[in-house]
Amino acid sequence: MSAAMCALRRGCAQTFRRPLPASGTLVQTCLQSSQPVPAARLPYRVKLSAGKKYAWCACGHSKKQPFCDGAHVTKAPGISPVRFTPDSDKKVLLCACKQTGNAPFCDGSHLKVLLRDAVKAVRSLVK
């Protein structure tokens, strides 16, 4: 699919290619998107403090992953961060692929994303 078709399908005016952290794999990203973009392939393990307010980045554009830095205001205005306050100190896995059904916590959805990417890579080698 061309960049222009991808942009139209995802509701973007402009697109660019960026590397996924830790992998270097280039992914097409919208400059202004209506869909979240993966920030990383694997979840972030973080220690949360009881009673502290957190804002989990739901758009994938934050430079302070997995937490929000306000990037959604310009890059994904239709996607707001998920705000939460834990009731106890704990270590958790916060979603990085932005596909979880249990935001902000990882539910294993990244495994589907990894599998999809692996299938795409194999198909491109076969062509």
Residues 6+ apart with CB under 8 A from 120: none
Amino acid at 35: Q
> Does a structural domain hold residue 89?
yes
10 belongs to a structural domain? no
Within a domain: 92: yes
Q: Is residue 2 part of a domain?
A: no
Residue 90 pLDDT greater than 80, yes or no: yes
CB atoms within 10 A of CB 73: 12
Domain that holds residue 97: 39-126
Separation between Cα atoms, residue 75 and residue 59, nearest integer Å: 8
- 6-53 pLDDT per residue, tens: 443 444 444 555 555 555 555 555 556 688 999 999 999 999 999 999
Taking only the tens place, the pLDDT of each residue in 95-117 is 999 999 999 999 999 998 889 88
| Residue 58 falls inside a structural domain | yes
Query: For residue 25, is it within any domain?
Result: no
Residue 51 belongs to some domain of the structure: yes
Q: Is residue 84 part of a domain?
A: yes
Report the number of distinct structural domains present in the chain.
Answer: 1
